[in-house]
Amino acid sequence: MENLSTMAAPGSALWALLLATLGSTAGQPLGGESVCTARPLAKYSITFSGKWSQTAFPKQYPLFRPPAQWSSLLGAAHSSDYSMWRKNEYVSNGLRDFAERGEAWALMKEIEAAGEKLQSVHAVFSAPAVPTGTGQTSAELEVEPRHSLVSFIVRIVPSPDWFVGVDSIDLCEGGRWKEQVALDLYPHDAGTDSGFTFSSPNFATIPQDTVTEITSSSPSHPANSFYYPRLKSLPPIARVTLVRLRQSPRAFVPPALDLASRGNEIADSLSGPETPLDCEFSLWSSWGLCRGPCGKVGTKSRTRYVRVQPANNGTPCPELEEEAECAPDNCV
């Protein structure tokens, strides 16, 4: 009997390893995705807060035609079988249309098709556009255990194909629904347009690139509207908060005593840090003619111009004109 139990042990260990790797029907599904055993349905409020201010992002900040703003928010509650967008992967045609022009029809059709054919989408939700860089918008959404993931996208306006969003955040944690989730959001490039600045003309990226996060140093080009070489990382350009609703949103209205502090909290969430912007200037022009009377020392000058004015205590601009002595070529 001792020999039999000794022989069975390695086999049991191997079987356990296979179950852990492949997943069992009673435990975890393939891929190690946890099974949500929370109550059948949960409702959430989602609040999107733009933090795109001129103090936080002073470089080329859009002030008119059009000013800094956000598109409508478009999202879905779904399973792991569906992906709206994913970093380092190619976007769909529908998401390309939304990221470049704010056109939602094709993306909506893609989400609808995923819901009908794969049963991977439970609900679609949207929130109104925000006409300023630091405004707020909100909506309500519903999730269930089989569709506990939430994804959404908001286009940065104006921009070539830049957006912020969330990819497949899970609102279920084992046997319960999360009460609140808050995330900072950073700009992403959809990989379909090659513009560097907010107001760049449409110039398609051929071949199409994957989704990448825009950082203070990438793309590493001085013309990039988010290029801040003095920063280790960009401040968040937006923030999203999801709060579980029990019965009705009205049940969660705080007492009058707390309204002031809540207002301060919202104001603090909308006001970004002051990002220093150094002066950016051109190279020197060539020297001009040397002028002066014959037999005496003359002068010549050269100039440069300011490309970007400094802001928020950034490095000031240097002298824009320089003179030097010279021997006159054409005596006057």
**What is the CA 23 to chain-centroid distance, rounded?**
34
Confidence at residue 80, expressed as pLDDT on a 0 to 100 scale: 94
Count, in order, helices (H) and strands (E) of the chain: 4, 16
Confidence at residue 68, expressed as pLDDT on a 0 to 100 scale: 96
Complete DSSP assignment for 161-199: SEEEEEEEEE-EETTEE-SEEEEEE--EE-SSB---STT
Q: pLDDT tens for residues 165-182? A: 999 999 999 889 999 999
68, 155 contact by CB (below 8 A):
no
Residues 6+ apart with CB under 8 A from 257: none
Backbone φ, ψ for residue 90 (5° rounding): -80, 140
pLDDT values of the chain reduced to their tens digit, one per residue, 332 residues:
434 333 334 445 543 433 343 333 333 343 445 789 998 999 999 999 999 999 999 999 999 889 999 999 999 999 999 999 999 999 999 999 999 999 999 999 999 999 888 889 999 999 999 999 999 999 999 999 999 999 999 999 999 999 999 999 999 998 899 999 999 999 999 999 999 899 998 899 999 999 999 999 999 888 899 999 989 999 999 999 999 998 654 444 433 334 334 344 444 444 557 877 788 878 888 888 888 888 788 888 888 887 777 787 778 888 888 888 888 876 65
At 126, list the tokens. 């949207």
CB atoms under 10 Å from CB of 256, counted, come to 7
Angle of the 105-117 helix axis to the 93-101 helix axis, nearest 10: 150
Q: pLDDT tens for residues 239-285? A: 999 999 986 544 444 333 343 343 444 444 445 578 777 888 788 88
Domains of the chain: 42-244 (2.60.40.2130), 280-326 (2.20.100.10)
Element (H, E) at 47: strand 42-50
- Cα–Cα distance for residue pair 266/48, rounded to 1 Å: 11
- β pairing state of 42-50 and 188-189: unpaired
3-state SS, residue 76:
strand
- pTM above 0.75? no
